Each structure stands twice: as structure tokens, then as C-alpha cells.
Amino acid sequence: MATVKVFRIILWLAIGVLIIGNAYHFAKHSSIGLFEWSAQRGADGGLAIVKTGSLPPDAAAAETTLNAEAVPAAVEEVAPEPAPKPKPKAQAKDPNLISLFDGKSLGKWESIEFGGEGEVVVTEEGNLEVDFGAIMTGVKWSEEAPAKSNYEIELDAMRLDGNDFFCALTFPVKESHATFVIGGWGGGIVGISSVDDLDASENETMNVEGFEQKAWYRIKVRVTDDKIEAWIDDRQMVDLELGDKKISLRPGDIELCVPIGIASFMTRAQYRNITWRNLTPEQAKQPGTAPAKLDKP
């Protein structure tokens, strides 16, 4: 019995030494070992007991336990980098769309010499402004029009002061020309001059509209081989089948506005976003649509 007790005491002492020694080694060297000693695999693959402090740093970090193979280091999982977001596709430019005014200079526009015309300037805001004239003030395109049919022309127009037409847009119609008059004959007549030698106040395209001062209106004219169409904002003002109708300019000063012209009558006005769009044969056969909505202040 005495022998058994002695054996148990020795066993518990050995276990205690192992626990205390390993704790000491781990606290000092951050690895498993016994006090100052640890197991190290030799070049021949065998294990050798060496003093931990005598190991090179790399070897100490790679030391094995006394009774087992070295534990593989945990591999830190690295989250994959997110795939780059696809760049938004740039909207393809319409090859048939032509800007006629850059908001910086008159460019290919020139002031029309009506006689007694007002000043024509480009404002700091980038708008083309025509001042009061004794009769009319306006600008015309100094080169040939891009086309005589199958096209659309758009612009924004605003009456700043005055009581008559603030936009008379002259444009080609095949071998002739016509004018879309906005706010004429005292401020309210809208229509095409001329149809069968009748001006906008007399022919079938005549409408009466009210216009606010200092408010922008989006103007669009569409000319095809079969029709003249015109809009003010989202309202279609003209839907004229050409057929055998005679299209011409009203005799007088407006004839100076060819091939493309914009004019006002004793009215101060501004224009911006002047564009021309040639239509393909397929587009010309499709119904016309109102211009893009213009945000009102």
C-alpha cells in the first residue's frame, strides 16, 4: 500500500511539473514547451530537446510540441476584392443631330440688316438676345441649310418685353421657305406664313395662344416631303399636309431671314438650345412627336 501511495504522489508531482512548466514556457516564449526547453525537429526528421532561448527566431516560431507533430498555422481568410462596377455606357451621339448655337458666340449666325434693327448679343448666361428694333430684329444662318426637307429644328424662346411676336422661325420647305410665327398680330397669333399666299393670321394653321413674359417655351418644327408640323412645348400647333399647297414667305422683311432665321417684332427676346436634326427616310415616315418637356421656373 505504501508503494502505491508513493507512486500516486510522484504521478501528481509529475503532472503538476508538466502543467507549471508548460505554462511558464508559453508565457515566456508564446509556444508549447517545458520551462526553458522545447522539442525541435532535426534535419534527419527526428525530435531533439533543445533550449528554447538558443533557437533562432524562425525556428522558435516553428517548434513542435513534445508529443505531437507541429500544428499547421491557421490560414487567415482574406475576403476577395469586390469586382469593379461596370462603367455606365455612354449614350451614343445622334450622328444626325447638329448644334446650331454654342451659347458662347454668334458663330455662323449673323444679325439681319432690316433697317432700324436692335442689338444682337450673347448674354453671360449663354442666351442669344435680340433687342427692340424700330420694326424687326433677328439673326440668320450664314451658310446653306443642312437640308431642305426631312429634318427637325428646335429651340427655346422667351419674350422678355414687348407685345408682338417674339419668335418668327424661318425654315426651308423643299425649294421654298416658310415661317412659324409665335405671338404675332398683337401677341397671340400662332401659325405658318404663308400657305397658298395666306399668312398665319388667315390660313388653316392659325391658332390663338397666350404667352407669359420671361417664360421659356420649347419650339419645334418638323418638315418632311409630305408635311409641316410644329409644336410649342407639348402642344401641336401645326399639322399641315403639303399636297399641292403653295408654301412661301410673306412678302416683306421676313424674306431676309432665309435660309434659316429667327426674328422678333418690336420685342426683346432670347433664344437658346438651337438644334437641327436630319431625319432618315424611315424616321421621316414615322409620326412626329412633341419636343422634350421644358422645365418651367
CA distance 289 to 291: 6
Judged on CB neighbours under 10 Å (0-12, 13-18, 19+), 227 is: middle
For the chain, give every domain's residue range.
2-61, 97-285
**CATH number for domain 97-285, candidates 1.10.3210.10, 2.60.120.560, 1.10.357.10, 1.20.1560.10:** 2.60.120.560
Three-class DSSP category at 135? coil
CA distance 121 to 106: 8
Grid cell in block for residue 277: 436634326
pTM equals: 0.70
Among 36, 49, 28, 39, residue whose Cα is nearest residue 71: 39
Q: Which residue has the cell 526547453?
A: 37
DSSP designation for 216: E
Per-residue pLDDT of the chain (297 residues; tens, 9 = 90+): 567 676 677 776 677 666 776 666 567 666 776 666 666 665 565 666 666 666 555 544 444 444 444 444 444 555 666 766 666 555 567 889 999 999 999 999 999 999 999 999 999 999 999 999 999 999 999 999 999 999 999 999 999 999 999 999 999 999 999 999 999 999 999 999 999 999 999 999 999 999 999 999 999 999 999 999 999 999 999 999 999 999 999 999 999 999 999 999 999 999 999 999 999 999 999 999 999 877 765
Say what the alpha-carbon torsion angle 43, 47, 49, 54 is, to the nearest 10 degrees.
30
CA 102 to chain centre: 18
